[in-house]
Structure 1
Amino acid sequence: MTEASEPAPEDPEVIEDETGESSANLIARGGKVDREALFAFYQAADDGDSESQARVHFRLTRDLQKRLDRYLVDKVPFMSRTTLQKLISEQAVTVNGRHAKASTRLRKGDLVETTLPPPPSNAIPPEELPLDILHEDDDLIVINKQPDMIVHPARGNRSGTLINALSWHFQNRTSGELSTVGEANCRPGVVHRLDRHTSGVMVAAKSDTAHWRLGRQFEQRQTRKRYLAVVHGEVTPYADRIDHPLGKHPTVRELYAVRYDELAKDALTIYRVREAYEGFTLVELELHTGRTHQIRVHLAYLGFPIVGDDMYGGRHLLEEDLDPSLGSEPLIRRQALHATTLGFTHPITEQPVLHTAPLREDMARLVTLLREHRMKKLVDAPGATIDLDQVL
């Protein structure tokens, strides 16, 4: 933990957070959290699948003898005391690195850290949309997200999202509701995200306790995530680490890129070849960090862009590209990337769980046709865990 070198005189309690980005970015004059800055923080995360959460830190420079909940009311004035007490009870607030009670009295030198949800925003209208549910209990729901579905409402996309569909599901099919964490900014229950055109396994929280505990697992890289992708080219070696930092593309706003400067963040992907075809490869990917577009950028950087990923150099395949007798229809209309398995510790039972999402129809057909027309060999890369027979 590194303290800011020269905090502003009016913000004597603000220190630098553990990610190296100053909490002062979210703090207004007078040492209070700025609502608009917090909203902008979460809006900036809407364009990808980043798992960032807003954290602020305060170190008391004098002995206040004030209750923790009342102190936070002073620091986060746009949130009610009841809301802040709920954050405390859901273990989203620590004092000197330990979970505390709302009644905890603060003293000089105490370090208060809190993870803040987005500020209040609009309600989400429920919509009856198809859902492929893999598991549901009182605290969470696991789904196999279809392609071309945005996870939550954002700029220009207020309907047709996974959250709209889940809201309808809970109202009409089962009991429960999405957690209220992230309800501000139209992201209730959202613990992590997938790109719009990436399909596969996702978990959403139905209780606030589940949300905070799952969120910590993603933040601390304690989840186990495996993907399958079909890429252009014949990948060698059959297994390797892709350890290249990522950041915003220097000239194209929508893209990300490998870069080696102060704006980049560490990113680690491990790939393992599962099936080798003529001109293509089926790759299993183990994700160790959760950067936006991470797999897509890493594979393109190696020279093996994902089939259909035209943002990063992939081409759309037609049926006749594999066999002239098949016709001229596109084989897949999006990037051939699927979140296949997700493992985590259940936030309430504390038992390890692993959920597997079968390939969506378009990607399953692509793999089937590649096997029929371009198969070279099966590859038993060490460390591969996805059961292809189970997901195809």
Structure 2
Amino acid sequence: MSLPTLNDGYAYAERIGPRGAGLSVLAYLAGRYEHSTQQEWQERLARGEVVLDGVTAQGSEILRTGQRLIWHRPPWPEDAVPLHFEVLYEDTELLAVCKPSGLPTIPAGGFLKHTLLTLVRERWPEASPLHRLGRGTSGLVLFSRTAQAGAALSRDWREGRVQKTYRALGQGVAAQDEYEITTPIGPVPHPQLGDVYAASPNGKPSHSTARVLERRSDCTLFDVDIHTGRPHQIRIHLASIGQPLVGDPLYGAGGLPLPHLPGLPGDGGYMLHAHRLGFVHPLSGQQMAVEAEPPGELNIG
């Protein structure tokens, strides 16, 4: 586990689109990035952190379509996370690694350097992740090392030709040996979070197959194949059949978010592991299967 460390800061750059035209810099920033108040943006502007077309912005400037706006975020301390991974497969086109629970896949949510992507690119600067895992999910992440491999596998991913199997520990003892779960997933309102993805009759079609591997005294070990790729799909789908993941801080029975959260939505502690990927190698055409050994709690027996 790493210690909290100060990163190098980051420049968030964007081009102003039609929706931003006519707004002041301050109004635009406060409206677009609601994680910060208007007062906080005013303080950043006063410190000279925001630049518009190469000139330090004051906040009152009226934006035009096509202008370039940059927020130079100063260095900030990143939380301690596990800073290691295991190489599962490597060739000239692909790289497969096993990520520990707690390590973000890509920069987001206050993490910039403490990510799997940063660690991988220290050894393979050309690597690009083909998918991502939630911070609390452990297991297999596949990277492309060439543009050709990335394009081919991204197409296969979109068209459902990549087989994805996860290992999950759900609360309660399953009544069936197998479940075909088709609960739609979409944004629903939450009193603390605004909107959050969950089971929703107005959501997008979603499909998972959950197979019982082992029944324990108060929980069930599953292998879950996901046939669609909705946000938090396995967490929502197992919760929707009454078996939310052990330790899940967000989803309860029925696949809906808990009304009063015991922690933050991104907190770990839930039992989910990306176990296996099946795909066609983009160069050789060979059928591939790569597996990441589950952690102890998610092993049979």
TM-score range, shorter chain: 0.5 to 0.7
How far the C-alpha of 1:278 sits from its partner, in A, is 1.5
2:138 and 2:272 in contact (8 A); partners too = yes
Distance 2:233 2:161 in 1: 17
Separation of aligned partners in 1, 2:113 and 2:195: 21
- The corresponding residue for 1:355 is 290
Which of 304, 312, 327 is the equivalent residue of 2:251? 312
1:163 maps to amino acid: L
Aligned to 1:140: 94
The aligned residue for residue 194 of structure 1 is 133
Tell me: CA distance 1:138–1:366, structure 2 relative to 1, closer, same or farther (3 Å): closer
Match of 1:211 among 135, 150, 153: 150
Task: Write the mapping of 1:15-54 to structure 2, written as runs, cut at 5 A.
Answer: none
Asked whether 1:334 is paired with 2:269, we answer: yes
Deviations 1:242-275 (A, max 9, x none): 00110122223473211122xx211100011111
TM-score (norm 2): 0.65
Residue 44 of structure 2 is matched in structure 1 by: none
Amino acid in the other structure paired with 1:178: E
Q: Which residue of 1 aligns with 2:120?
A: 166
Using the alignment, how far apart are the partners of 2:117 and 2:144 within structure 1?
11
Code of the aligned partner of 1:304: Q
Could you list the runs of 5+ residues in structure 2 that have no partner in the other structure? 1-16, 19-31, 34-65, 74-81, 254-267
2:221·2:298 contact (CA, 8 Å) conserved in 1?
no
What secondary structure does 2:239 align onto?
helix
Matches within 5 A, 1:1-392: 129-170=83-124, 177-179=125-127, 189-251=128-190, 252-253=193-194, 255-261=196-202, 264-313=203-252, 334-360=269-295, 364-365=296-297, 367=299, 371=301
Question: Quick one: distance in 2 between partners of 1:232 and 1:129?
Answer: 29
Larger Cα Rg: Structure 1 or Structure 2? Answer: 1
Query: Take 2:225 and 2:171, find their aligned partners in 1: how far apart are those partners?
Result: 19
Is residue 178–residue 204 contact of structure 1 (8 Å, CA) maintained in 2?
A: no
The structural deviation recorded for 1:191 is 1.2
Kindly indicate whether structure 1 or structure 2 has the higher relative contact order, using CA contacts under 8 Å at least 6 residues apart.
2
Decide whether aligned partners of structure 1 residues 366 and 350 sit closer, same or farther in structure 2, where only a CA change above 3 A counts. closer
The TM-score with structure 1 as length reference comes to: 0.51
User: Cα distance 1:313–1:244, how it changes in 2: closer, same or farther (>3 A)?
Assistant: closer
Give, in whole Å, the separation in 1 of the partners of 2:235 and 2:271.
Answer: 10
Aligned alpha-carbon RMSD (Å):
2.8
* Counterpart Cα distance in 1 of 2:109 and 2:225: 31
Larger proportion of strand = 2
Q: 1:253 to 1:192 in 2, by over 3 A?
A: farther
Change (3 A) 1:211 1:366: closer
**Does the aligned pair in 1 maintain the 2:168–2:298 contact within 8 Å?**
no
1:30-49 per-position Cα deviation (integer Å, ceiling 9, x unaligned): xxxxxxxxxxxxx99xxxxx
Aligned length: 214
Q: Distance in 2 between matches of 1:347 and 1:253?
A: 41
